[in-house]
Structure 1
Amino acid sequence: MSALYNHTVARLTYRALLGRRRALIMLLMPALLLVIAFAVRAQTGADDRAAVEILGGFALAAMVPLVGVVAGTGAIAPEIDDGSIVYLLSKPLPRRTIILTKLLIAIGVTVAFTSLPILVAGVILNGNGQRIALAFAVAAAVAAVAYSAVFLLLGTVSRNAVVFGLIYALVWEALFGNVVPGARTLSIQQWSLSLAERIALPGADINSDVALPAAVILLAAATVAGTWYAIRRLRALTLASGE
Structure 2
Amino acid sequence: MSDDTTTRPAESYPAGVTRSSVRPVDAVGISYGLVLGQMRHTGRIIALFLLSLTATIAGFAVGVSDVASVDRAASVIANLGFAVVVPVVCLVFAGGSLGDLREDKTLVYLWLRPVNRWPIVVGAVLASLTIATPIVLPTVVLAAVLTGVGGGLVGATFVATLVGLVAYCSIFTMLGVWLQRHIVWGLAYILIWEGFIALGGPGVAQFAIRTYLRSIVVDRTGADLGGADFTTPVAVVVPLLVSVGAVALASWRLSHQDVD
TM-score normalised per structure 1: 0.86
- Percent same amino acid among aligned pairs? 24
Equivalences, count: 237
| Matched position secondary structure for 1:186 | coil
CA contact (8 A) 2:61 2:147 kept: no
- The code of the aligned residue for 1:222 comes to V
Q: Structure 2 residue aligned with 1:209, among 229, 234, 243? A: 229
Q: Distance in 2 between matches of 1:19 and 1:131?
A: 35
Q: Distance in 2 between matches of 1:43 and 1:193?
A: 23
1:4-30 Cα distance to aligned partner (Å, 9 max, x none): 453342222222223124313421321
Which residue is equivalent to 1:222?
242
Of the structure 1 ranges 208-217 and 77-86, higher mean CA displacement relative to structure 2 is found in: 208-217
Within 5 Å, which residues of 2 pair with 1:71-150? Answer: 71-126=93-148, 129=150, 131-150=152-171
Which residue is equivalent to 1:168?
189
| Larger relative contact order (CA 8 Å, sep ≥ 6) | 2
| Matched position secondary structure for 2:24 | coil
The alpha carbon displacement at 1:220 in A equals: 3.2
Residues 46 and 212 (structure 1 numbering): CA distance in 2 closer, same or farther, change over 3 Å? closer
Q: Which runs of 5+ in 1 are unaligned?
A: none
Q: Distance in 2 between matches of 1:210 and 1:47?
A: 22
Q: Distance in 2 between matches of 1:12 and 1:169?
A: 27
- The code of the aligned residue for 1:67 comes to V
- The code of the aligned residue for 1:235 comes to S
Q: Distance in 2 between matches of 1:35 and 1:130?
A: 18
CA contact (8 A) 1:132 1:204 kept: no
The alpha carbon displacement at 1:175 in A equals: 2.9
CA contact (8 A) 1:69 1:162 kept: yes
Q: Which runs of 5+ in 2 are unaligned?
A: 1-22
- The code of the aligned residue for 2:204 comes to A
| Matched position secondary structure for 1:223 | helix
CA contact (8 A) 1:156 1:234 kept: yes
Q: Aligned-pair RMSD on alpha carbons?
A: 2.5
CA contact (8 A) 1:40 1:125 kept: yes
1:138-184 Cα distance to aligned partner (Å, 9 max, x none): 11110211111111111011111111001101122233334554432
1:100-149 Cα distance to aligned partner (Å, 9 max, x none): 1111122333332222211111111115x151021022111102111111
CA contact (8 A) 1:37 1:124 kept: yes
Which residue is equivalent to 1:159?
180
Residues 197 and 71 (structure 1 numbering): CA distance in 2 closer, same or farther, change over 3 Å? same
CA contact (8 A) 2:145 2:151 kept: no
Residues 215 and 39 (structure 1 numbering): CA distance in 2 closer, same or farther, change over 3 Å? closer
Q: Distance in 1 between matches of 2:105 and 2:93?
A: 19
CA contact (8 A) 2:198 2:205 kept: yes
Residues 28 and 172 (structure 1 numbering): CA distance in 2 closer, same or farther, change over 3 Å? farther
Q: Distance in 1 between matches of 2:246 and 2:164?
A: 13
Q: Distance in 2 between matches of 1:55 and 1:241?
A: 41
Q: Distance in 2 between matches of 1:214 and 1:41?
A: 30
CA contact (8 A) 2:177 2:253 kept: yes
Which residue is equivalent to 2:213?
192
Look at both structures and tell me which one has the larger radius of gyration over its CA atoms: 2
